[in-house]
Amino acid sequence: MGGVKLIHAAMPHSLFSDAVDIFEQLIAFDTTSRDSNLALIEWVESYLTRHGIGFVRLPNEAGNKANLYATIGPNIEGGVILSGHSDVVPVDGQDWHSDPFQLRYSDGKFYGRGTCDMKGFIALALAAVPLFKQGQRPVHLAISYDEEIGCRGAPAMIAEIADKIPAPRLAIIGEPSMMGLIKGHKGIAVHEVLVTGHEAHSSLTHLGLSANMVAVELMHDLAELSRNLWDKADVTSAFVPPHSTLTIGEIKGGTATNILAGHCRFAFDLRCPPGADPEAILAPFMEKSRALDAEMAAAFPGTGINVHKISATPPLSPQAGSDAEAFVRTLTGDNGPAGAVAYAAEAGLFQRAGFPSLICGPGSIEQAHQPNEYITADQMERGAAFMERLAEALR
């Protein structure tokens, strides 16, 4: 247990202690995005059933992953959505000092994959279910899959929530924000580029077409585009960095140094603050890709370039003076300026569906995706107090 039993022995029964029990269970499920999350979903379903709460499971097409949403309290308007994603990033190649899928407590910190991002928030929301049951307004719990690989799971669930449940007051997405208020995040568009060349001996370049060489030309254009985005920064923006960013995250091509590469694949992401148009930013690159594709096909039939959008998540646009912001401030006690973050999240999807949306959750994003990921006990305690105040506000 790595110290978890010791912290239990030292603390009285409370929402915090209940959350730690649940936390331990959630961390034990390896819900890396490439794998299934069904074991965790089934555990949550069993937990909700024990508390007399109904739920809806929304599986993916393959049936190996699922979203889940549930209404706690009366099914009426004016409720609050508490949203979190169940999937986590891989631990492959990271230097972990303990089992990443066993919750460990040491020196005021809970260690494990997903502690910060974002099973701590889910554990707190589940621990508060008995309190939420007493409310005159509902809490709608929403747990998604595949957030870490482009927010692919949530859209189907959000669409059904918008169609099936009475209009809620707001959605709170529990991404790590140190329990501060975040009312803006960047959007993200992820693209995959597949280049098909014509293999030949590398000494006979006139008899073939290297996919790698074409890919390098395209990546050079993207690198130039990335540098040019710096010149378009809004210095008054709350985002850090304030401009759109573009990075190439994956490259794979070729089979040997003496063979003109038959295939090359690379993938890039473009992150834009609200107001920036990703389609317009990428328009010159898309035009260049189409022109090269035509040239390649004319020289060697069957060769060419395919640019495929893997995922697209809209930004969360700040809304000054909103009712949602005022309400969440009463729960956090935070009167400082609301923040904006460079990462993408599901908040933009909820906002696009018509729900006033904010980010507020325990932990620091600086710990997310890191080896020896952790969340402090103090942040979990603050999260527990937040849930208690939310329950009180809905009575």
Give catalytic residues, as residue numbers. Answer: 87, 147
- Rounded Cα distance, 40 and 34, in Å: 15
Q: Which two tokens stand for residue 248?
A: 């190439």
Residue with the two structure tokens 């595949």: 146
Please state at what angle helix 15-28 crosses helix 38-50, rounded to 10 degrees.
150
Q: Is 98 helix (H, G, I), strand (E, B) or coil?
A: coil
- 323-332 helix and 377-393 helix, angle to the nearest 10 degrees: 120
- Give every CB contact of residue 147 below 8 A, 6+ residues apart in sequence: 85, 87, 153, 154, 345, 346
Q: Which helix (H) or strand (E) holds 25?
A: helix 15-28
- Tokens for 341, please give them: 């973050």
**Is the CB of residue 377 less than 8 Å from the CB of residue 7?**
yes
